[in-house]
Every structure is written in structure tokens, then in C-alpha cells.
């Protein structure tokens, strides 16, 4: 949305200077560079050593050590359209930024709308008053118009003929309106609460219902203490999972921005700033650990830490390794079941663990199958799969799903089932239920009707809810005595 001042002050006789961070792009190159440097120890060391010589030296060290892809940055489309119109009318557009020159020139070259670039270089950090002095030296006092977003730009606003604002704070806008001539105000409609829930991926919390599986299989649903402990463990696991999702999003910014759907995630599109994402992840993780230490069993905390370590290993490395990534995802789901057992102090059956491993391995392969087929990619960016693997993924995915049914059948015939169920023969109804659900979801995945995450799909699918209800009903009926129907 663009607001225009009441006074017509938009003329094309003077250059239009544009800030980069937070203005032309919905992120900050310094934070982007620092994130990339975290995965490169040498780059991180060089940047920290450069910081001792000043901010400009640090930016140079980062620019020389990492690579920023201009195509993968979240640009402000409304501002780009405005700049393109100004350029077509014959106006000179100048990129004036505190970003290091080499990166700024790459961005300017990519966009192709700038006549010149003023940026940090040669020990001079082009921000605040330094930027103001550089622009005044180049174009004179009131010899340029300026577009910025931050209170640090105030000296530049004061020296410009006309000041345009991009998502300014209320205090900055009031200050500029009082002391400078306002041109246009570029605003984007954001809903902070919606952004927050999207950032923590609250819809993914449904996966943590697996923590209640031991509560059901151990027949502890009527035990109030166990139910309360399970509910609290659900909250702790969900908070920690959200923290790891944010870390994953921070790590995958460039890849997500090139993805047709993931580019709309809050961190990727710039709705959530990088420092805000880091702070949110730390707060969520702290809350999760604090609640676990204060109210839950130490074994649960141990499993929660193991889950976090494995999740981060997946985010930073394992997800790029073919097959290993799917096994890791299956293990992460199984860890949820182990955590649910630990919190109510029950031992998980090896049958349940094997069932979980094969079942979620099937869904993990389905996730990769969907990602490959949905967008017709020849290779899956950041993963170890190619389009030629589609048939194999389909085969191993369905096979893993049916192996989980086989494990379930073997469990029903095992002596251990007699301890928990009075009429175990009723449990045989679970096998056709599982065969139906697994086969149906794979059919839908083949037809392109399953979202990129089959677990999220199941959480919104009516038939999946019906199957789950019947599944629970069969388990309940098996605990009752129907010996008159099924004589031994």
C-alpha cells in the first residue's frame, strides 16, 4: 500500500537515492551474511577479526567469505514498481546502502535499475551521518530525494529534498513529517499475531499428539496424573519443536525463498526479522526446558534434548543425505512416542517402536515423493533425490507402510497382547484399517492431492479422522470381555 503526501513534491529533476536493508529488501544483509558465516568457521573467524578493526572491516570480511544470491532476497514489490516507473521517466536511481560494495553491486546488477551505487568500502561504513555526508558531497544539500526506513536514516532525511518512507515506525514518521518534506509512505499489511503463529508453525504441533500413544496403549487414559503429565509434555515438546523449526528456517533462508510455497514463510519473506526469529527461538527453547526441569521426569528431558540434537543435525546436514533423511524423520516421530512413555513411566513395547519406525518411514518417503512430483523438479534442492528416483520412492514408501501393518499383525499374535487386552481377536480389525489408510494416502499423493507434509494433511482430512476414531474404538472394544463371541 502506498500513501502519497498532500503536497505534490515528486519531480524527476533530482536523483532518487534508495536504502537497501529494510527498505528495498525485507531483510538485512549483515544478518544474512552472519547467518551464512555461522556454517563456515573460517568466514566466522575472519569476520570477528575484522570487527576488531571496525564495522566496515567486518562487512568486508563477510563479503569476501560468503556469497549472497541477489535472486533469493525478499524484495519489496511495491517499491520496485515505483522505482521502475521513476527510472522510465528518466530519473536517476541511486542505491545508497551500508551494505558492502561488492554485495550492493551484485544486487544493483541483478535489478538493473540503478545508475550508481554508494556503499560501504575502504574502511568507511556508509550509514547514518556518513551516508548523509556522502550524499551531500555527491549531490548537494537538498539535491536528492531519499527512501529509507530506520531512525538511523534521520540525518539523511533531514538533508534530502523529499523523504519517502518504507514501513516507518510511528515515531519516525511523526519526526520526519514535522521536519522534512514527505513524499510517499510505502506500507505492507502485516498481522503480527498471524506472523507469530506462522513462524512457530503451530499447525505442526499436531505431530506431538504421538506423545499420547503410550498413554492409550498402556491404558492410562483414566489416570488423571498421567493425563496432566502427558498434556504438559505435549506443550514442552511443541515449544521445543517450534524453536527448531525457526532454526531450520533461518538456516534455509535462501533455499526457502526459491521454493514456490516456502518463500511465504515469515522469515523467508521478511515478515519476521532475523533478530526477532533468533530471539523467539531462544525464548521458546528456554520455556520448554524450564517446564521440563520443573515439572517432568528427567528421562523426558533427556529424550527432549536428544530430539533437539537430532533435529538440528537433520536441519544442518542429514536432510541432504538420501535415505538417511527419511530414517531420521522416522526416528524423530518415534522419539515422540518414547518421550510420551518416559513422562508416565511406562516401558514402550518393541512392537510399537518397530511399527512406528516403518509407518513413519513410509510417510517420510511420501514427503520426498510429493516434493519431487509437485513442482516437476529434476532434482530436489538441498536434498539427495532426483526425478529418476520417483518410482523407487513410491516403491519403498508403500512397502514400508505395509511392513508396519505386518508388525501390527505379528504383535496381535504375540503372547504380550494377552496382558493388555481381554479380547485380542478384535484387534485384527486394525490391519484392514491400516491397509486402507496407507493405500488411500499414497493414491492421493500419486494424484497430487496431498500437501508436502502427509502428517499435516491427515490432521485436516475427514476420512483420516474417521479411521482414527474407528482405530481407537477397536482398541477400546478389545479391552472388554467378548469371550462369548470369540471363544478361546
Segment 240-252 shows an average pLDDT of 95
Task: Check whether residue 215 and residue 340 sit in a common domain.
Answer: yes
Task: Check whether residue 108 and residue 223 sit in a common domain.
Answer: no
Residue 405: the pLDDT is 97
Segment 355-363 shows an average pLDDT of 96
Which of residues 186, 201, 226 is at a domain's end?
A: 186
Task: Check whether residue 156 and residue 121 sit in a common domain.
Answer: yes
Which cell goes with 434? 491400516
3-class secondary structure per residue, 187-211: CCCCCHHHHHHHHCCHHHHHHHHHH
CATH of the domain at 206: 1.10.357.140
CATH of the domain at 31: 3.40.50.1000
| Tens-place pLDDT, residues 39-70 | 888 888 888 888 888 899 999 999 999 999 99
Residue 365: the pLDDT is 95
Task: Check whether residue 390 and residue 302 sit in a common domain.
Answer: no
20 within a domain of the structure (yes/no):
yes
Task: Check whether residue 385 and residue 281 sit in a common domain.
Answer: no
Segment 244-253 shows an average pLDDT of 93
Residue 465: the pLDDT is 94
Segment 245-270 shows an average pLDDT of 90
Q: Does 377 score more than 60 pLDDT? A: no
Nearest partner of 234 among 300, 299, 282, judged by Cα = 300
Parent domain of 240: 191-348
- pLDDT bin (cut points 50, 70, 90) of residue 484 is low
220 three-class SS: coil
Task: Check whether residue 19 and residue 150 sit in a common domain.
Answer: yes
Residue 2: the pLDDT is 53
Angle at 242 between CA 272 and CA 379, to 5 degrees: 80
358 within a domain of the structure (yes/no):
no
432 three-class SS: helix
Task: Check whether residue 157 and residue 246 sit in a common domain.
Answer: no
145 three-class SS: strand
Residue 5: the pLDDT is 45
Residue 3: the pLDDT is 53
366 within a domain of the structure (yes/no):
no
Q: Report yes or no: 450 and 459 within 8 Å, Cβ to Cβ.
A: no
339 within a domain of the structure (yes/no):
yes
* Residues in Cβ contact with 206 at an 8 Å cutoff, skipping those fewer than 6 apart: 455, 456, 459
Task: Check whether residue 47 and residue 176 sit in a common domain.
Answer: yes
Task: Check whether residue 230 and residue 292 sit in a common domain.
Answer: yes
Most confident of 7-16, 99-108, 344-353: 99-108
Q: Does 9 score more than 50 pLDDT? A: no
Segment 205-220 shows an average pLDDT of 92
Q: Report yes or no: 473 and 385 within 8 Å, Cβ to Cβ.
A: no
Please state, for a pLDDT cut of 70, what percent of the chain lies above it. 94
Segment 462-478 shows an average pLDDT of 93
Residue 188: the pLDDT is 85
| Tens-place pLDDT, residues 85-102 | 999 999 999 999 999 999
- pLDDT bin (cut points 50, 70, 90) of residue 8 is very low
- Report how far apart, in Å, the C-alpha atoms of 399 and of each of 296, 392, 396, 442, 453 are: 38, 10, 5, 11, 19
- Tell me how far the alpha carbon of residue 275 is from its chain's centroid: 14
| Tens-place pLDDT, residues 155-194 | 999 999 999 999 998 888 888 888 778 889 999 888 889 9
| Tens-place pLDDT, residues 378-405 | 555 566 788 888 999 999 999 999 999 9
353 within a domain of the structure (yes/no):
no
Q: How many domains does the chain contain in total?
A: 3
Lowest-pLDDT range, 77-91, 119-133, 355-369, 378-392?
378-392
Task: Check whether residue 150 and residue 205 sit in a common domain.
Answer: no
Which of residues 186, 213, 247 is at a domain's end?
A: 186
Task: Check whether residue 168 and residue 65 sit in a common domain.
Answer: yes
Amino acid at each position: 500500500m502506498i500513501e502519497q503526501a498532500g503536497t505534490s513534491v515528486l519531480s524527476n529533476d533530482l536523483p532518487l537515492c534508495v536504502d537497501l536493508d529494510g527498505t528495498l529488501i525485507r531483510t538485512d544483509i549483515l544478518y544474512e551474511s552472519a547467518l551464512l558465516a555461522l556454517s563456515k568457521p573460517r568466514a566466522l573467524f575472519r569476520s570477528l577479526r575484522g570487527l576488531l578493526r571496525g564495522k566496515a572491516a567486518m562487512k568486508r570480511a563477510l563479503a569476501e567469505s560468503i556469497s549472497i544470491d541477489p535472486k533469493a532476497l525478499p524484495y519489496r514489490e511495491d517499491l520496485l514498481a515505483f522505482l521502475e516507473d521513476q527510472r522510465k521517466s528518466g530519473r536517476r536511481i541511486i542505491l545508497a546502502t551500508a551494505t558492502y560494495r561488492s554485495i550492493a553491486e551484485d544486487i544493483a546488477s541483478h535489478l538493473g535499475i540503478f545508475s550508481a551505487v554508494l556503499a560501504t568500502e575502504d574502511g568507511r561504513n556508509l550509514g547514518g551521518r556518513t551516508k548523509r555526508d556522502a550524499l551531500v558531497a555527491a549531490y548537494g544539500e537538498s539535491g536528492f530525494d531519499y527512501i529509507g526506513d530506520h531512525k538511523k536514516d534521520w540525518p539523511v532525511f533531514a538533508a534530502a529534498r523529499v523523504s519517502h518512507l518504507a514501513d516507518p515506525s510511528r515515531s519516525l514518521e511523526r519526526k520526519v513529517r514535522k521536519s522534512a518534506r514527505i513524499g510517499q509512505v510505502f506500507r505492507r499489511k502485516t498481522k503480527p499475531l498471524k506472523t507469530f503463529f506462522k513462524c512457530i508453525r503451530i499447525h505442526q504441533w499436531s505431530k506431538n499428539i504421538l506423545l499420547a500413544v503410550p498413554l492409550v496403549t498402556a491404558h492410562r487414559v483414566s489416570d488423571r496424573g498421567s493425563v496432566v503429565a502427558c498434556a504438559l509434555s505435549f506443550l514442552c515438546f511443541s515449544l521445543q519443536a517450534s524453536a527448531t523449526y525457526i532454526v531450520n528456517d533461518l538456516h534455509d533462508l535462501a533455499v526457502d525463498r526459491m521454493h514456490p510455497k516456502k518463500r511465504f514463510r515469515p522469515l523467508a519473506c521478511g515478515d519476521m526479522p532475523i533478530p526477532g526469529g533468533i530471539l523467539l527461538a531462544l525464548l521458546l527453547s528456554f520455556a520448554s526446558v524450564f517446564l521440563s526441569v520443573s515439572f517432568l521426569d528427567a528421562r523426558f528431558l533427556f529424550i527432549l534434548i536428544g530430539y533437539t540434537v537430532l533435529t538440528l543435525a537433520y536441519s544442518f546436514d542429514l536432510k541432504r543425505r538420501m535415505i538417511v533423511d527419511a530414517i531420521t524423520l522416522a526416528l524423530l516421530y518415534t522419539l515422540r512416542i518414547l518421550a510420551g512413555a518416559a513422562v508416565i513411566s511406562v516401558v514402550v513395547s518393541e512392537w510399537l517402536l518397530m511399527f512406528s519406525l516403518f509407518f513413519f518411514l513410509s510417510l517420510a518417503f511420501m514427503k520426498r515423493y510429493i516434493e519431487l512430483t509437485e513442482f516437476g523438479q529434476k532434482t530436489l534442492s538441498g536434498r539427495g533425490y532426483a526425478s529418476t528416483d520417483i518410482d523407487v520412492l513410491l516403491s519403498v514408501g508403500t512397502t514400508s507402510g505395509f511392513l508396519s501393518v505386518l508388525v501390527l499383525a505379528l504383535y496381535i499374535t504375540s503372547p504380550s497382547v494377552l496382558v493388555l487386552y481381554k479380547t485380542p481377536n478384535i484387534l485384527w480389525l486394525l490391519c484392514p484399517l491400516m491397509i486402507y489408510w496407507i493405500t488411500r494416502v499414497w493414491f492421493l499423493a500419486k494424484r497430487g492431492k496431498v500437501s508436502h507434509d502427509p502428517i499435516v494433511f491427515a490432521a485436516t482430512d475427514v476420512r483420516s479422522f474417521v479411521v482414527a476414531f474407528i482405530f481407537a474404538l477397536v482398541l477400546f472394544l478389545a479391552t472388554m470381555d467378548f469371550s462369548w463371541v470369540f471363544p478361546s
